[in-house]
Amino acid sequence: MSYKKLKPVFAGLFLSAMLISSPFAFAQSGMDYFNQGVKAAKSGDYRNALEKFQKAKKAGINNAALQYNFGVAHYKLGSYEKAKKAFTLLSEIDKFKQLAYYNLGLVANKQKDRVAAIAWFQRTLRTGKSDEVKVLAREALKRLSDEPKRTKKWKGLLSASLTSDSNVTLLNDDLTAVTSKSDTSIVLSAFGAKWLSGGVSDGVRLFLKGYLQKYNTQTAYNYTQFGLGAAHYDRLGSWKMRVGGFWDETFLGGSQYQRVLSAEVRARKALSKNNQLRLRYKVSSIDATDPVYDYLGGVRQQLRLGNQVRSGKNRYRVYYQLELNDREDFRNPAGTTYTFRSYSPTRHTIRVTGWWALSNSWALRLDGRYRTSSYNDDYIRVGNVSESRDDTQTRLSARLSKKLDKNLQLEMAYTVTNSDSSIDAESYDRNLASVGLSSQF
């Protein structure tokens, strides 16, 4: 259902609500201005109505009825931010909370913020006792739940890039191979999502993804991944929830590598207008599809706590993540350097990311990550010599992008990684540069 088709549902409440008068005694001149404003609004002259309400305020009227009508007048004149401010102030008065929430839903709808509109209408149902307002809120939710036809189609992203890598290595947190060899590669990726039912307030969405990295000379590190997933979106009180399951099949050097089955729960809660708390828990079962990598099989758990802040078109995100691993680990045959190696680290990660709109077409993203890894068991060298392994990793990246048209974007990125390990052979540095194009569909 489009936003325009919601207008008849909303207009009725505004027309009747304009007749609400104040329960308080006014100075006669202020009351006259107020009544004149209501009369002007009923005739559709909202600009004149706003002027009368402003005069009523100057004459000493300052109450919920006037505040409500300010919001209505601004809404009708298309000043949605001013209307939002008026209804937000009104929501601080218990008697008017329900009506204020409903009207904030109308404003969000006009601003094409469907998610916020749904959230306000749901709050309307949980607040107050007016059955009339609840009926209107239910009708609005019903119409908004009828997804526009365009959301029934696939939406996603296609990208292609050329990369230059100073130290070709597979950095997927499972296997790190320090090659000290540089190479170039082509990276192709695709991601698509489609609603199977409902929407972000109560719906099911399907995800598909594909990734291919092909090196010029170091073909043993060519990497391919295909993934399929589905998630159910819902609300739990003031939390926005997403619960999903995912399957990923990966190939290394053209051969089978891993199959990963994951379950994930995500939750988001608005702490304020521009401040959002984010939680995520993900558990993955990892199986080696090539027996050579059996030692990587096992379970990985990730628990993340983050915060996102918006400032105009810019946004900033910080999170902490705890990762626990319980893998098979590696027992080498006699005659090799190690008879046992652990692949079961406990990891602590702090990551900070910022996005800035430099102009209408240029945007910048800066990303910093610091991670510590403590392996659960000591490495054992030939002769039963034990070595504990503790790593620290710092990664800094910058990405500059330019919109070429509505859906096409040019992207340039540079990443520096430094990984220090208590076992020298596992330490490395890496510089990765890329340039490519991405297209939304």
Q: What's domain 4-145's architecture?
A: Alpha Horseshoe (1.25)
The confidence score (pLDDT) of residue 319 equals 97
The residue ranges of the chain whose pLDDT is under 70 are: 1-28, 145-152, 170-179, 333-335
The confidence score (pLDDT) of residue 174 equals 63
- What tokens does 147 get? 């997804």
The confidence score (pLDDT) of residue 6 equals 42
The confidence score (pLDDT) of residue 172 equals 53
Domain locations in the chain as residue ranges: 4-145, 150-440
The confidence score (pLDDT) of residue 19 equals 39
The confidence score (pLDDT) of residue 268 equals 95
**CATH number of the domain located at residue range(s) 150-440 in this protein:** 2.40.160.40
The pTM score is: 0.68
The confidence score (pLDDT) of residue 226 equals 97
Tell me the three-class secondary structure of the chain, residue by residue.
Answer: CCCHHHHHHHHHHHHHHCCCCCCCCCCHHHHHHHHHHHHHHHCCCHHHHHHHHHHHHHCCCCCHHHHHHHHHHHHHCCCHHHHHHHHHHHCCCHHHHHHHHHHHHHHHHHCCCHHHHHHHHHHHHHCCCCHHHHHHHHHHHHHHHCCCHHHHCCEEEEEEEEEEECCCCCCCCCCCCCCCCCEEEEEEEEEEEEEEECCCCCEEEEEEEEEEEEECCCHHHCEEEEEEEEEEEEEECCEEEEEEEEEEEEEECCEEEEEEEEEEEEEEEEEECCEEEEEEEEEEEEEECCHHHHHHCEEEEEEEEEEEEEECCEEEEEEEEEEEEEECCECCCCCCCEEEECCCEEEEEEEEEEEEECCCCEEEEEEEEEEEEEECCCEEECCCEEECCEEEEEEEEEEEEEECCCCEEEEEEEEEEEEEECCHHHCEEEEEEEEEEEEEC
- What tokens does 409 get? 């974007």
